[in-house]
Amino acid sequence: MATGTFATAINCMDGRVQLPVLEWMRVHLHVDYVDTITEPGPDKVMALGLPGQQESVRKRVGISVEAHGSRTVAIVGHHDCAGNPVSREAHRDQIRRAGQVIQSWGLPVRVLGLWVDERWTVEVVCDTGAPG
């Protein structure tokens, strides 16, 4: 197992959201590192995507959980997403639905849904709480 503490972000490939999410997770989750899995429009992929797309993400999350001991997985949606150009409300709904998909995997993790707004500020949309 890797040294240090880890969390996992399923984030958009858009470079504008990488740093705000990384910094937020390090500060608010008190972790040393954030493993990042990127997809264009990850909230849509996880809420509405094809099973093959979701399985690919699940395998990568599994590596983070098993090899790095990650105990929190965040699904991220953001303002001005080219991969998922929908309203703020639609993103927030997809984030919640994506969180349910991730939670259904039965991993020993807390699942967070994060929204990054037009000012690149991170806010929590959903939170399953501590892993059970």
pLDDT score at 1: 59
Mean pLDDT, residues 44-69 taken together: 96
- Tens-digit pLDDT profile for residues 61-90: 999 999 999 999 999 999 999 999 999 999
Q: Give the containing element (helix H, strand E) for 21.
A: helix 15-29
3-state secondary structure of 3: coil
pLDDT band at 50 (very low <50, low <70, confident <90, very high): confident
Mean pLDDT, residues 21-31 taken together: 98
pLDDT score at 112: 98
Residue 47, pLDDT > 90, answer yes
* DSSP per-residue letters across 35-89: EEEEESSHHHHHHH--HHHHHHHHHHHHHHHHHH---EEEEEEETT-SSS---HH
The owner of tokens 């399985």 is: 55
- Computed over every residue of the chain, the mean pLDDT equals 95
Mean pLDDT, residues 41-49 taken together: 96
Three-point CA angle 81, 106, 112, nearest 5°? 35
- 38 forms beta bridges with 11
pLDDT score at 15: 95
* Least reliable range by pLDDT among 61-70, 98-107, 122-131: 122-131
Q: Which domains does the chain have, with CATH numbers?
A: 6-127 (3.40.1050.10)
CB atoms within 10 A of CB 110: 19
* Least reliable range by pLDDT among 14-18, 39-43, 118-122, 127-131: 127-131
